[in-house]
Amino acid sequence: MNGSAAHARPPVRKAGQITNPVLRERLRQLALFAAMLISGGILSIPREPLIVMVLVLCFMLNNPLRLLRAEFLLVWLLLFATGAMALVGGESFQLLPMTIRYANFIAGLALLLVYVGESRTTLANDLFPILKLMAFQAILTPFAYLFASGLFTTFQVYDTTYHTLLYVFTYHELVDTGSILKRPDGFFFEPGVFQIYLNMLLFIGLFVRKQRLFDIVLAALAVVATQSTTGVVIMMLQFAVAYFQWLKTASRRQKVGVFVFVPILLLPLAAYMSFNLSQKFYGALSGSAEAREYDLRTGISVALEHPVTGIGFDYQKYFDVSARVGYREANLSRDNITERGNTNGIVVLLFSVGIPLSLIFLLGIVFQRMFRPRLLFAALILLSLIAESLFFTPIVLMIAFSGLLIQPRRIARLLRRRPATAPVRPQSA
């Protein structure tokens, strides 16, 4: 883990805790995969058993009482304030929404607890094999449809029909564009979620592990396979940062070669982005852009109605308020607007807990300690959240909470100061 915890000694294992390093790694990876399914998995996958699974695995690895240490103080204060604002803004005790949110909060904290005392690269190393398999899954899904479309079956999740081969190669189409290259969903409810994890793989390949060309190309092709505009923008941002870092150590000949060949390599990607954007703004997928605009404008209006406290976690309250102040110029059907949840994770945060507490959550993302370059990874998460309502899910919360930890060095410094500032007691005669 990044920050001072990265250089801290591994925690001493107590009696009864699992000490086998291979077993600990597998349990961490299992907890991560379960948390990923909670954080954007297909909605037919029940969340409750997965949350229980995450908590059990994490607390098998680490004593849950460690969450009461001083370094978690700011996180607990934030969660207490969040509950208070939800009660005030929601104007009633919302048992089910509150329980769901706090179960996710605790799952995010439990995941963070697992990695607090580990080395800086432990989380990346645990994620890497999972994400690499997902990259193959993303790339192979369009080809599986091309060569074995007759083997695909369908299943229904609410109003959405998914097509799948063995529940591994899965896609869905809200609008029939006639394209033979289907957008892979992976184990998630849409490609826009899938690209988040594939871009994490690219980030790990570029900045955490040794820059193996195969891993980088694999991750890039997987992101392109999702046909996600946000995903491609994030991918290009990562390549730009990696390129400028590489320039610092490259020879003159290498720099000349890059200036000649990189533009040629980028031409197909630029053409793809241009086509994708035209489809989403003016073509068959233009409804997607209109829906996102509606979510942004309506979400901001709801947040401004209750800027300090928010409206809590009950979506019925959101439906009621958005019916009064929602964006009126959207070309969406009345039924779509009436029961439409908001897909913008940033504005969901704003109208749920209010602007002041939202800023603290967002600062947690900005100052996250899980990956470096810190700000680039924060940009990956925040750009993705603009299109996906995933802020209150364990993976994102783990990242946000990591930026709110009090560094052990600061705690030790405060403890050392206490005797010096304590009042001098008069000595008895």
Would residue 154 count as lying in a domain? yes
Would residue 201 count as lying in a domain? yes
Read off the tokens for 238. 């990562």
* Distance set, CA 360 to CA 79, 115, 173, 348, 402 (Å): 11, 22, 37, 15, 12
Residue 279: its pLDDT value, please?
Answer: 66
Other Cβ atoms within 10 Å of 259 Cβ, number? 9
Residue 376: its pLDDT value, please?
Answer: 97
Determine phi and psi for 196, rounding to 5 degrees. Answer: -60, -50
395: closest CA among 36, 62, 1? Answer: 36
Asked if residue 186 lies in contact with residue 176, where contact means CB atoms within 8 angstroms, the answer is: no
Q: How many domains does the chain have?
A: 1
What letter does residue 425 receive in the DSSP assignment?
Answer: P
Per-position DSSP letters for 155-176, written without gaps between them: EEETTEEEEEETTTEEEE-SS-
| 169-172/153-157 β-pairing | unpaired
What letter does residue 153 receive in the DSSP assignment?
Answer: E
Question: Rounded to an integer, what distance in angstroms lies between the CA atom of residue 70 and that of residue 320?
Answer: 40
Digits of tens for pLDDT over the chain (429 positions)?
Answer: 644 444 444 555 554 578 899 999 999 999 999 999 999 999 889 999 999 999 999 999 999 999 999 999 999 999 999 999 999 988 777 788 899 999 999 999 999 999 998 998 999 999 999 999 999 999 999 999 999 999 999 999 988 999 999 999 999 987 776 678 899 999 999 999 999 999 999 999 999 988 789 999 999 999 999 999 899 999 999 998 998 888 888 788 877 777 777 777 777 777 777 767 666 666 556 567 778 888 899 999 999 999 999 999 988 889 889 888 877 666 665 656 666 788 999 999 999 999 999 999 999 999 999 999 999 999 999 999 999 999 999 999 999 999 999 986 666 666 666 554 454 444 443
Would residue 20 count as lying in a domain? no
Range of the domain at 244: 128-279
Residue 419: its pLDDT value, please?
Answer: 55
Counting Cα atoms < 13 Å in the Cβ hemisphere of 140 gives 12
- The neighbouring-strand residues paired with 27 are none
Q: Chain centroid to CA 104: how far?
A: 13
What letter does residue 41 receive in the DSSP assignment?
Answer: B
Asked if residue 202 lies in contact with residue 219, where contact means CB atoms within 8 angstroms, the answer is: yes
Question: Rounded to an integer, what distance in angstroms lies between the CA atom of residue 241 and that of residue 62?
Answer: 36
Angle of helix 21-38 relative to helix 394-402, nearest 10 degrees, comes to: 110
Asked if residue 403 lies in contact with residue 367, where contact means CB atoms within 8 angstroms, the answer is: yes
Would residue 64 count as lying in a domain? no
Would residue 132 count as lying in a domain? yes
- The neighbouring-strand residues paired with 292 are none
Per-position DSSP letters for 327-381, written without gaps between them: -S-----HHHHHTPPP--HHHHHHHHH-HHHHHHHHHHHHT--SSSSHHHHHHHH
Task: Give the neighbor-by-neighbor strand order of the sheet with 169-172.
Answer: 153-157, 160-165, 169-172
Asked if residue 240 lies in contact with residue 156, where contact means CB atoms within 8 angstroms, the answer is: no
Read off the tokens for 54. 């995450």
Rg of the chain's alpha carbons, rounded to an integer? 23
- The one-letter code for the residue type at 154 is T
Q: What is the pTM of this model?
A: 0.89
Would residue 429 count as lying in a domain? no
User: Environment class of residue 34 by beta-carbon count within 10 Å: exposed (0-12), middle (13-18) or buried (19+)?
Assistant: buried
